[in-house]
Each structure stands twice: as structure tokens, then as C-alpha cells.
Amino acid sequence: MPYYTRAQLPIYKILKFIYTENMKTIKLQQRGLLTLPKNIRDALGLEEGQVLQVTQSGQQIILEPQTNLDTELAKAITQGLADIKAGNYIEFGSPKELHEKLKNYAD
């Protein structure tokens, strides 16, 4: 019986092609979660936490990355909420009081 390396095995080549180079199908998981293939994420520069717009066109689902402005706004809102939970905020009763506290805060 001849000896074959992994790269020479026809089934290995087929599976490698299906699962790494040409992965075009994904499975809908529990609660509607999808995992985009890494090669697509890399090609589009998608990062964890990035916002995607979802639209339907007939029987197609279209995912479009939001602009950097939308992504930056989402990050800023997330950071702001974390600051509030951590107690990092200024309480004030009037605009004048706010300005005074901000002057002291900036110093």
C-alpha cells in the first residue's frame, strides 16, 4: 500500500476547499445567531462588536457594515453607559451649576 501525505489525499483537499477556501454556507444557530466566515470578516475588515445593517430583498438577506461614524457612536454610547454604572458622572441642577462643575473638573 502506497504512503500518502495529508496534502496528497483527495478527501483532505476537498474538505480543505469546502471548509476554508470556499465556505459560502453558514448555519443559523440558537436564537438566530450567525457566524460569518473568517475570510469574509477579514476581507471586509469586520471586527467584533461592529454594527451591521440587516435588510431583506425578496428571499435574500443583506448584511451591510455601518459606517465608522455609526460604529464609533455605538462605542461611545457603550462607554458612556459603563461610566454611568461606575459612578463617573456629574450631577447638576442648572446649566450654571454644570458650567461651574465642569470648570473644576477640567482643572
Whether the predicted model's global pTM rises above the 0.85 cut:
no
Sign of the CA dihedral 26, 28, 30, 36? positive
pLDDT for position 49: 81
Q: CA 56: distance to chain centroid?
A: 20
How many angstroms separate the CA atoms of 29 and 52, rounded? Answer: 18
Mean pLDDT value across residues 50-67? 85
